[in-house]
Amino acid sequence: MGSPGTGADFMEMGLDFDSEPFTEQEREKLLGWYRTEHGLEDLSLVSYMAFLIDHLPGPYKRMRQHAQATMADRDGVSLPLLAYVLFYIHSYTAIDFPKGVFYEIMSARHLGAPKQLVLDVLGYSYLSAGPRGMNAVSELSDAYLRDWADPPGLNPAGWPPGWGPDPDAFRAGIDYTTPDLTAEEIQRISAWHQHMHGVVPRHVELFGRLHPRAYKLQRIRYEKAAGTVMPAQLAPLLTLHLATLRLQPQIMRQSLHQARALGCRRHHVVQTIEAGQRQMMVHPLYLEQATDAIGDLLAGWDD
């Protein structure tokens, strides 16, 4: 079992990208990888793989080549492989893809992730996924999670420098002991948003005034959602990845602000966006929407 910082060969299958058809050796090696890493020694979770290899080999090989290029570092800055797996656990939960959630949870475990890290990501996913997304998790992954016991001495490492759990990063300084929302707490929440997201969202004043108790309790849910093991820096990247899939420009922009405020590097953000684009939004016009949303912030980010 590896660690979040290892697994450089995880995606490397030795495919010949200059030739579209798969050789029999390439086919068997790749399907064997999927049976082990994304299956329970079969292809029941990824039946589409044999279809792609046999009928659409060129598009699949180009996707695989793109995926490996996305993960390459720039000037020594790169996300660990585990971050991508956690992106997909989060986004597949939100878009209701039970098989995808299950095989990415298995991949996280194979890479040495502790169980609590996966549970933290699932807890954060609940904010965006709701009951439908939790059904997507429980449908296939419940028994697997119940049977998951971390080996003794598991000590995962490999997050970028400065990354780590920081529950205080999400707290605006409101009083958890009472559901009553004060004017001072609204000001604190507003200041938190200004620092983290670069703007004070209109909802803070509006819902803080129209239904203060419900708004405060919603805020507390958010502040406690990152858990105890997940690096704080991962949270805005999870949101950014999902917003890229959903084509939500304002959420992309505010997530980028938060990622920068928490210490992410620009290439971390670029890799996150590319990972989201690679799965479902490959058309150039989709990438243009991302550029419209955050291009100025990326261009002006000198790290």
- What's the pLDDT score for residue 157? 66
86 and 57 inside one domain: no
End-to-end CA distance of the chain: 33
Series of mean pLDDT values for 10-residue runs along the chain (303 residues): 47 89 95 92 94 96 90 93 96 96 96 95 96 96 97 82 95 97 97 96 95 97 95 98 92 96 96 85 77 91 82
130 and 181 inside one domain: no
| Amino acid occupying residue 56 | L
Number of domains in the chain: 4
212 and 249 inside one domain: no
In a domain, 155, yes or no: no
In a domain, 142, yes or no: yes
212 and 236 inside one domain: no
- The full DSSP string for 4-22 is TT--TTSS-----TT-SSP
Domain closes at, from 159, 194, 223? 223
- What's the pLDDT score for residue 83? 96
Domain that holds residue 111: 76-146
Instruction: Find the radius of gyration of the CA atoms of the chain.
Output: 20
pTM: predicted TM-score of the whole model, two decimal places = 0.94
185 and 126 inside one domain: no
- What's the pLDDT score for residue 287? 80
Contact predicate 242/94, CB 8 Å = yes
Question: Would you give the DSSP letter of residue 168?
Answer: G
In a domain, 251, yes or no: yes
- What's the pLDDT score for residue 290? 82
Spatial separation of the C-alpha atoms in residues 260 and 75, rounded to whole Å: 18
Burial of 250-270, coded b for 16+ CB within 10 Å and e otherwise, reads ebbbbbbbbbbebbbbbbbbb
